Chain A
Amino acid sequence: MESHAPWQVGSKAILSVTGLGDLLGRLWAGGRQVVGPVVRDGAICLGPVRTIADLPKGLTDEHGPGTYRLKPRGDEALFGFTVGQHAFKRSILLPEVALVQLRRKGRDVEVEPATPKTQPLALLGVRACDAAALGIQDKVLCGGPYADSDYEARRADVLVIAVQCTNAASTCFCASMGTGPHLSNGFDLALTELLSPTHRFLVEVGSPAGATLANQLELTPVSEGDLSDAKTAEQAALTQMGRHLETAGLREKLQQNPDDSHWENVANRCLSCANCTMVCPTCFCTTMEDRTDLTGDIATRIRRYDSCFSEAFAYVHGGSVRPTVRARYRQWLTHKLSTWVDQFGSLGCVGCGRCITFCPVGIDITAEAKAVGAPARTG
Chain B
Amino acid sequence: MVELWTPPPGERAHTMVPRMLRVDRVIRELPDIVTLVLDSAPMGGFRFGPGQFNMLYLFGTGEVPISISGNPVEPGDLVHTIRAVGQVTRPMCQVKRGDMLGVRGPFGTEWPMDDARGKDLLIVAGGLGLAPLRPAIYHALHHRSAYGRVIVLYGTRAPDSILFEDELHTWRGRFDCEVDITVDRAPTDFRGHVGVVPALLDRFSFDPDRTVAMVCGPEIMMRFTARALTKKGLPREAIWLSVERSMKCGMGVCGHCQFGPTFACKDGPVMRYDHIFRLLDIREI
Task: For A346, list chain B residues within 8 Å (CB).
Answer: 2
A144 and B251 within 8 A (CB): yes
Whether the pair A313, B98 counts as a contact (CB closer than 8 A) is no
Q: Is B178 in the interface zone, CB < 8 Å from A? A: no
**CA of A318 to CA of B219, assembled, Å:** 12
Check if B241 is an interface residue, CB within 8 A of chain A: no
Contact A343:B263 (CB < 8 A) given known A132-B2, A135-B2, A285-B254: yes
From A155, A258, A286, B282 is in contact (CB under 8 Å) with A258
B258 within 8 A of A: yes
Cβ–Cβ contact A288 & B249, under 8 A? yes
Q: Is B187's beta carbon under 8 Å from chain A? A: no
Q: Given A145-B12, A288-B63, A327-B283, does the pair A314, B4 have CB atoms closer than 8 Å?
A: no
Q: Tell me the complex Cα distance, A47–B1, Å.
A: 27
B94 at the interface (CB under 8 A from A): no
A residues 129-168 touching B (CB-CB < 8 Å) = 132, 134-136, 138-152, 155
- Residue B13 interfacial (CB < 8 Å): yes
A144 and B253 contact, CB distance less than 8 A:
yes
Q: Which residues of A contact B1 (CB under 8 A)?
A: 132, 135, 178-179, 184-186
A146 near B261: Cβ-Cβ < 8 Å: no
- Point out which of A110, A113, A149, A346 has the most chain B C-beta atoms below 10 A from its C-beta: A149
Whether A299 lies near B60 (C-beta < 8 A) is: yes
Instruction: Write the B198-238 contact mask toward A (1 if CB under 8 angstroms, else 0).
Output: 00000000000000000000000000000000000000000
Bound-state CA distance A5–B260 (Å) is: 53
CA distance A321 to B248 in the complex (A): 15
Interface string of A291-330 (1 = CB under 8 A from B): 0100010010101001010000111111001111011001
Residues of the A chain whose Cβ atoms lie less than 8 Å from the Cβ of B19 = 111
The distance in angstroms between the C-alpha atoms of A144 and B13, with both chains bound, is: 10
Which residues of B240-282 have CB atoms within 8 Å of chain A's CB atoms? 244-246, 248-249, 251-256, 258, 260-263, 266, 282
Contact A287:B256 (CB < 8 A) given known A100-B17, A142-B5? yes
A-B residue pair count with CB separations less than 8 angstroms: 169
Q: Is A250 an interface residue (CB 8 A)?
A: no
Q: Select A142's contact among B8, B60, B61, B83, beta carbons within 8 Å.
A: B8
What range describes how many residues of B lie at the interface? 35 or more
Contact A186 B4 (CB under 8 A): yes
Output the least CB separation between A308 and chain B (Å): 7
A255 is an interface residue with CB less than 8 A from chain B? yes
Partner of B18, one of A100, A308, A342: A100
Would you call A290 an interface residue if the criterion is a C-beta within 8 Å of the partner chain's C-beta atoms? yes
Is A107's CB under 8 angstroms from B261's CB?
no
Q: In terms of DSSP, what is the predominant structure of the interface of chain B? A: loop
Chain A residues numbered 116-138 whose CB sits less than 8 Å from any CB in chain B: 132, 134-136, 138
Residue A284 interfacial (CB < 8 Å) = yes
A149 to chain B: which residues have CB within 8 Å?
Answer: 14-16
Asked whether, in the complex, the Cβ of A146 is within 8 Å of the Cβ of B252, the reply is yes
By the criterion CB–CB under 8 Å, are A152 and B246 in contact?
A: no
Are A317 and B85 within 8 A (Cβ)? yes
The yes or no answer to A2 lying at the interface (CB within 8 A) is: no
In the complex, the answer to whether A255 meets B261 with C-beta atoms within 8 Å is yes
Please tell me which one of the listed residues B3, B12, B62 contacts residue A290 in the complex, with CB atoms under 8 A apart: B62
| Chain A CB within 8 A of B99 CB | yes
Q: Mark A26-56, 1 if CB is under 8 A from B, else 0.
A: 0000000000000000000000000000000
Contact B261 A343 (CB under 8 A): yes
B253 contacts A317, CB within 8 Å? no
Contacts of A314 in B (CB 8 A): 245-246, 256
Given A296-B60, A339-B261, answer yes or no on A139-B2 (Cβ-Cβ < 8 Å): yes
Q: Note all chain B residues with C-beta closer than 8 A to A301.
A: 16, 63
Contact for B5 among A155, A179, A322, CB less than 8 A:
A155
B136 adjacent to chain A (CB < 8 Å)? no
Check if B195 is an interface residue, CB within 8 A of chain A. Answer: no
Contact of A63 with B by CB under 8 A? no
Output the least CB separation between B200 and chain A (Å).
24
Given contacts A100-B17, A290-B60, A299-B60, is CB(A327)–CB(B4) below 8 Å? Answer: no
Which of A104, A152, A308, A313 contacts B14 (CB under 8 A)?
Answer: A152
Which residues of chain B are within 8 angstroms of A296 by Cβ–Cβ distance? 60
In the complex, what residues of B have CB within 8 A of residue A179's CB? Answer: 1-2
In whole angstroms, what is the CA distance A144 to B5 when docked?
12
**B14 pairs with A107, CB closer than 8 A:** no
Using a CB–CB cutoff of 8 Å, the interface residues on chain B facing chain A are 1-5, 7-8, 12-20, 59-63, 83, 85-86, 89, 98-100, 102, 244-246, 248-249, 251-256, 258, 260-263, 266, 282-285
* 8 A-B contacts (beta carbon < 8 Å): A104-B60, A139-B2, A147-B253, A286-B255, A288-B62, A317-B85, A327-B283, A343-B261
The list of the 9 closest CB pairs from A to B, nearest first, reads A138-B5, A285-B255, A327-B284, A342-B261, A135-B2, A146-B251, A317-B85, A339-B261, A147-B14
